[in-house]
Every structure is written in structure tokens, then in C-alpha cells.
Amino acid sequence: MTNLIEPHGSKELKPLIISDKERLREIIEAASLSKRQKLNSSAAANVVMLGAGYFTPLDGFMDKEDALNVALQMQTKEGLFWPVPIINLSTLKSTEFSKGEELVLLDPNYSDERPIAIQTITSVDTLSAHELEVILENVFGTKDSNHPGVKNFINQGSTLIAGPIKVLNYSYFPEEFPNTFDTAMGIRNKLDSLKWRKVVAFQTRNPMHRAHEELCKMALESLNADGVLIHMTLGKLKEGDIPGDVRDAAIRKMVDLYFQPNTALISGFGFDMMYAGPREALLHATFRQNCGCSHLIVGRDHAGVGDYYDPFAAQEIFQKSIVEESLKIQIFAADHTAYSKKLDKVVMMRDVSDHTKDDFVLLSGTKVREMLSNNEDLPPEFARKEVADILKSYYRSK
């Protein structure tokens, strides 16, 4: 076994999935008469992450005190560092639920009321309007309902149902992404088999263009790492983002053609993007440590959206003492990367002070989508042709 970094807050991973088929059958039978709650998509994604060991050492959904403590101080009442509340919110009234009862949690991704977990309720609380605002302001940095993460959060309801869970399955992710979705346990096992010890993680919700490719290679070289985990979000994204299967195909094509053999591991996780900027960057780091990664690439406006966050706020938050004292994973702090016409290669903008904006090949997301929709070729300095062809095919099929 290689000497991988320890999981967060634990000597070993604590996945909440029930993997024994006989025990799984018994649990489902025992809960057949229990009350049922259809989860929102975010809570269902939290279930998948808890089941897959990514959210080690949590044992389920936080109560109100923990949720507010995490929002305000980034730690639970017991002192565990955690950057965002992991909660089960419902639009139903708190009187619908009782402390001590078992609740069958239903997966919203299926129409046939398919159970995804069993929760033992330890408390039921109502978040006041002020408490909801406290969470929004501290986790998202804004109450603006135009922010996709805020909009999603305020639609989840105010009844907070806390308690440990037993996870029954990983929702649609293993079926829809059979070669990509993996658990924290599965990734650790793969890293062990590859004999990688120093591993840098790259978070992506988008297809990877030349700048992303070169950024991974820069991190590999600079850190003298054994390999990079290209780890993509497979859950719900905001409108306009490219679907997971298309991203998956594009990334695999790029790695197959343009990375040295055995330097990149492609995987994916079942989580909905929050677009929470710095706080989400911390969450990304926390569960990459649980995967066994020693480093996470944190670039300009990591996990951000629009102009809600300062460009390097996601890097600066890692300098807080509570973060430095709590996480073993380190960050590879990156600037915006782009192709330099002067140097004929991709560079970090901070490293070329003699450049002006016109010296780079820069395309906005809007311009890229417009070109792909019109079946136009993207500049080879911006995107690999083989990757762009996959994206063009997707836009033509829309």
C-alpha cells in the first residue's frame, strides 16, 4: 500500500453505503412502513457523497446548530472543520416529522419513488428567514437570487431534518456514468494500485481546453507529482453548462491523445455544483483529501459564477488559520492560463508581465458556444481539434 494522505478527521474512510446485499434487503424491508420524504436534488447529491465516503467523517445530515456553526465558523459544534452545511431541507412543515422516527428518503431523479437512504431523525427544526440569510451570506457570500446556488438553496424549504443516514444506492450515477463515477474508496484503491503517493486533483465542471490541459501538466511538473486526478462534477449544473456525458467524452479524448501514459486518472463524483466560490473550493479540497489527493489545483475564480467573487478569493481562504490547521491537503495556486502568441505556448498570465491582452488567445464562454453552435472550428491554440469536434457534434444535436 502506498502512503496516501489520511482522510479528513478520521484514520480511515467512513462511507455510509450499505454494501452487504442481505443487510440492505433487511433494512429496506424494516423501513417498508416508515414515513417517506422526497428529497430535493441537492440533498440527494449529499446522500451520494455521504454514501461514497467523500464526506468522511460525517454520519448524516446536520442539525440547525451545526448548520449555523458551519456557516459562521466553518466547524461543527464538536469542533470538526467543515466548510458548508450538509443538510436535508424540506418544504413540508416541521410538524410532519418526529424525532426518533425513521424516514425513507426518496430519490428525486426517478419518478417511481425509489428509496435512496434511510434517515433516523434526531431533530426537526425550522430555519427562520434570518437564519436562512446567515447561511446564504456566509456560504455563498450573497443573498442575490440571481446567483444559481442561492436560487437553488432558497427553493429547498426551511424545515431542517437532522440525523444519521444509511445509504442504499448511488442514484443514477453508476448507470449513467459506468466508466467514470467512482467512490472515494474506489479512487484510493486505484491510486494504491498505481503506486501514486503525491497526487494533484483537478476539479472541472467543463470540458477541458488547452489551458486546462497545460495547467494540469504545469502542476504535475512543479509539484513533481506522480499523477493528476481529473475529477469531474457529474451532478446537476446551471442552465447552459455542457452535460456530463459530453464532458466525459471530451476529457477522455484529450487525455488519451495528449497526456503521457499513466499520468492522469479520470473520474467523476455525484454532486450538484453550488457555485459557492471560496467555500465550495474548501469543500472540493476536503473531499479530495478523502480521495487520497495531496494537492488540489485552485485557479482563478474557482467554483465561482458571474462576478460574485474576487478572482483569487478561493485561494486566499486557504490561508485562514482554521483551514491550515484542519486540512492536510495543500493547494496548487494557479492564475488564469492562456495561449501566448509571443511565446507560442500556454502560460500563466502572471508569469508574463510583458504581455498585453492582445498577446493571448482568449475566447469568452459565449463566443465558444456561438462558434460551436455555428459548426465553426475553435482556434487550435484554444482547444484540441479532437475535443472541439466532440463539442461541435453536441451543439449540432441540440
pLDDT(1) > 60: no
The predicted pLDDT at position 280 comes to 98
Task: Please tell me the pTM assigned to this model.
Answer: 0.95
- pLDDT band (50, 70, 90) for residue 242: confident
Mean pLDDT over 131-150 rounds to: 97
CATH architecture of 21-171: Roll (3.10)
Is residue 233 over pLDDT 60?
A: yes
Kindly tell me if the per-residue pLDDT of 226 is higher than 90: yes
Is residue 360 classed as helix, strand or coil in its secondary structure?
strand
Q: How confident is the model at residue 2 (pLDDT cuts 50, 70, 90)?
A: low
The proportion of the chain whose per-residue pLDDT surpasses 90, expressed as a percent, equals 89
Q: What average pLDDT does this structure show over 128-145?
A: 98
Residue 216, helix vs strand vs coil: helix
82-86, 122-126, 178-182, 238-242: which range is least confident on average? 238-242
What does the buried/exposed string (b/e) look like for 9-20 if buried means 16 or more CB atoms within 10 Å of the residue's CB?
beeebbbbbbee
Residues 114, 138, 206, 252: which is the catalytic one?
A: 206
Helices (H), 37-144: 41-51, 64-73, 129-135
The answer to whether residue 377 scores a pLDDT higher than 80 is: yes
Mean pLDDT score of the chain: 95
User: Within 13 Å of residue 62, how many CA atoms lie on the same side as its CB?
Assistant: 25
CB atoms within 10 A of CB 199: 28
Provide CATH 3.10.400.10 ranges for the chain.
21-171
Other CB atoms within a 10 A radius of the CB of residue 265 amount to 20
Average pLDDT estimate for 325-353 = 95
Confidence of residue 397 (pLDDT cuts 50, 70, 90): confident
Whether 205 is catalytic is yes
Residues of the chain with CATH 3.40.50.620: 177-269+277-397
Q: How is domain 177-269+277-397 classified at the CATH fold level?
A: Rossmann fold (3.40.50)
d(CA 280, CA 65): 20
Strand order in the sheet with 264-269: 264-269, 227-233, 199-204, 295-298, 330-333
Out of 197, 205, 252, 369, which one is annotated catalytic? Answer: 205
The residues near 88 (Cβ < 8 Å, ≥ 6 apart) are: 37, 39, 43, 46, 61, 105, 119, 160, 161, 162
Predicted confidence (pLDDT) per residue in 360-372, tens digit: 999 987 888 889 8
Averaged pLDDT, 42-54: 98
